[in-house]
Amino acid sequence: MKHRKPERRPGRASAAPQNRILKTLDRVLSKAGICSRTEAREWIVRGRMKVNGKTVRDPEHWVDLDRDQVVLDGRPLQAEKKIHVLLYKPKGYLTTFKDPDGRPTVYDLLQRLDQWVFPVGRLDQDTSGLLIMTNDTDFAEHVTNPDHHVPKTYLVKCSTLLTDEQLERLRGGLELKDGPTRPAHVKRVRDSASKTFFEITITEGRNRQVRRMVEALESKVLKLVRVAIGPIRIHDLNIGHWRILTHDEVRLLRKSGGRRGGGAGNLPAEAGT
């Protein structure tokens, strides 16, 4: 008995054209880090998306980012030229496109940028420091993939004085609820009367990892600043400002990984408070 192939309904995106790298419109939007898949579908249905100059309201519409011009609210979702932005995120800003409660997001700081970028990894609301924004998915995958061991360096102010033994525990790795941490590079910066400032370089990106490591020492993080990503240092970049990474910096980040990070260079002004 022969089975009939199901008929393709006209106008539906259920089958992608052959020999092209295609994604559905809702997936393109969500993978860019702009919103969730559910939000993407809602935005598309409301008519906020255009493909090649025409409004598209079907979330399952197929697009080829190498050939099609995809625009959200009048701004191109992906340009031919790859862009890599280094942002100094302030404390209190969310690493998301839009917050339903109206809290500030990192996109509020990028209004002069004329194309869409997405965050390479995350910084929680209470953490400040370096955040890379890009439209280069291959680059983002290299930097965020824990198997690549790209180091991220943080300056930490904790609520207690830490002993040398406690810092050594951070270096050797701690047991957290989601498993042991990798060995870390740790350097004491200074002590005040009741608090320790230290620098830590890790090669993982678990949720609130540094905060949880400090809590495992029966202390708490009072301030957390990411001062370096791989070889890229904070230097004189001001809080809330951004700049474009140079070609050499992008090349160095692509090669970064598999080794421990060094010092953080010039520390930000907020680090000493």
Domain boundaries, the chain: 23-76, 79-273
Q: Kindly tell me if the per-residue pLDDT of 190 is higher than 80.
A: yes
Instruction: Please check whether the domain covering 23-76 is classified as CATH 3.10.290.10.
Output: yes
Q: Which residues are catalytic?
A: 124
pLDDT digits (tens, 9 = 90+) for 70-99: 998 888 876 557 899 999 999 999 998 888
Q: What percent of the chain has pLDDT over 70?
A: 84
Give the pLDDT of residue 115.
79
Q: pLDDT at residue 62 above 90?
A: yes
With CA atoms as reference, report the closest residue to 69 among 82, 80, 85, 83. 80
Do 23-76 and 79-273 come out as alike in CATH topology? Answer: no
Q: Is residue 23 very low, low, confident or very high in pLDDT (cuts 50, 70, 90)?
A: confident
- Can you tell me the distance from the alpha carbon of 81 to that of 75, in angstroms, rounded to the nearest whole number? 14
| Whether pLDDT at 59 is above 90 | yes
The pTM for the full model equals 0.72
% of the chain residues with pLDDT over 90: 62
Residues 6+ apart with CB under 8 A from 179: none
Query: What CATH number is given for 79-273 in this structure?
Result: 3.30.2350.10
> Which has more confidence, 190 or 267?
190
Q: DSSP label at 10?
A: T
pLDDT for position 265:
47
Q: Give pLDDT, residue 273.
A: 61
Q: What is the mean pLDDT of residues 128-157?
A: 92
CA distance to 18, 41, 47, 73, per residue, from 22 (Å): 9, 17, 21, 22
